[in-house]
Homo-oligomer: A and B are copies of this chain.
Amino acid sequence: MKRRNLLTAMGLGLGGAVLATPAIAQGPPQIRWPLASTFPRELDILNGGVEFLVRRVAGLTGNRFIIDRDPSLRPTADQPMLDFVGSGGAPIGLGASYQAMDREPALVFDTSVPFGLNARQQNAWMYQGGGLALVRELLADHDVVPFPVGNTGSQLGGWFRREIRAAQDLNGLRFRVSGMAAEVLRHLGGQPQRTGYDRLRAALEDKTLDAAAWAGPHDDLRLGLHKAAPYCYYPGFLEGNAQLSCYVNRQARDRLPPEYREAVEVACAEANLWITARYDALNPAALKQLTAEGAILRPFPLEILRAAHRATEEQLEALAAASSRFRKVYASWKPFCDAQHLWFRIAENSFDRSASLQPPETSRN
């Protein structure tokens, strides 16, 4: 089955890759890879990042290595993109690793952990703190090589139909969240939902959903969630960053000439920078637009942050106790995360505060 899928994908465009070794003597081979991506059309920044990556790979290889988005290549319902690519459904695909957390909880570290790393800290851990190597180890027997390819930055805390004044207001709340946030919300008495993006606004309007966290201002504005649920809470403690991944099928990658492998790797890194820069550049105006259209921006009560923080710690400890694979990644991530938080308080957060003439953070809690 796995082999057959791979051959199917090869038929769709991997043919050239097979010829890579003999062809290279006559110059770099012509290769065409179909790319699988299920980002909804509305996510124009993520889709723009994919276009950017694809153009860069073509440009780096003199238009010899062409990666083409193929809308017909789609994982089956609930199949994480990394499994689709790993099983040969496509040579390359984009998605978020926490989609596979039911099978492998440690994959949350490849996307986002509540109260965890912010986007810059995530890059520091992935590229320079051993994170990427650990994530690749988790996926070693899945024939897929992941690359960070983008990050939304800190998201909003969600759109709520009613005000949230205390932790008890989360009781029974049907709240659409992603990834590990679902478990944390359950701890707090909420009812996490996995409503698809295309149903979000309607579900809030017909009151089958009480609240929804989608992404940040730019993306949320396009879905019009504020029209159905005007209370927007911050910070987005459930997803203080959301890293997207580019998955490359291992066998397909092994057949690439080394220059093309490097082109994919470097283009992913550049897209990672590009996507966060674009979210950062466009989110401020979108937030202004949202409030102009009636969104009511509110900070979460500290009581809720405390309860959610405790629930997150308990959940992480429980997962670490239950799985040596989780424990191994957590043992790298946790001290890195704590050190980042302390350092950012001194340096980045205090600098950011000084720009608004607020006093520096204190150096200890």
| Interface residues of A, Cβ cutoff 8 Å to B | 27-28, 56, 59-62, 115-116, 118-121, 123-129, 153-156, 216, 234-237, 240, 257-259, 262-263, 266-267, 269-270, 272-274, 276-278, 280-285, 287-288, 297, 299-300, 302, 305-306, 309, 336-337, 339-357, 359-363, 365
Contacts and interface: CB of A to CB of B under 8 A. Distances in A.
Nearest to A360: B299
A120 B287 contact: no
B234 A350 contact: yes
Contacts of A62: 28, 257-259
Nearest to A122: B277
Contacts of A274: 127-128, 269
Nearest to A275: B128
A355 B240 contact: yes
A252 to B, nearest CB: 19
Given A153-B347, A360-B235, A121 B263 contact: no
A103 to B, nearest CB: 27
Contacts of A309: 354-355, 357
Given A263-B60, A284-B342, A357 B365 contact: yes
A362 B153 contact: no
Nearest to A237: B354
A286 to B, nearest CB: 9
* Copies per assembly: 2
B59 A128 contact: no
Among A258, A282, A345, the one with the most B-chain Cβ atoms within 10 Å of its Cβ is: A345
Contacts of A61: 259
Contact of A60 (B119, B120, B121, B262): B262
A100 B237 CA distance: 42
Given A62-B259, A273-B123, A273-B127, A299 B353 contact: no
Among A119, A155, A259, the one with the most B-chain Cβ atoms within 10 Å of its Cβ is: A259
Contacts of A347: 153-156, 216, 234-236, 283
Among A153, A237, A277, the one with the most B-chain Cβ atoms within 10 Å of its Cβ is: A277
Contact of A353 (B119, B342, B349, B356): B349
A239 to B, nearest CB: 9
A272 B274 CA distance: 11
A346 B287 contact: yes
Given A125-B281, A280-B121, A340-B280, A350 B299 contact: yes
A282 B355 CA distance: 25
A178 to B, nearest CB: 16
A126 B363 CA distance: 31
B277 A124 contact: yes
Contacts of A28: 62
Contact of A128 (B216, B257, B270, B281): B281
A354 B115 contact: yes
A299 B363 CA distance: 8
Nearest to A260: B60
A147 to B, nearest CB: 12
Given A273-B127, A356-B341, A357-B305, A349 B349 contact: yes
A185 B347 CA distance: 20
Contacts of A288: 339
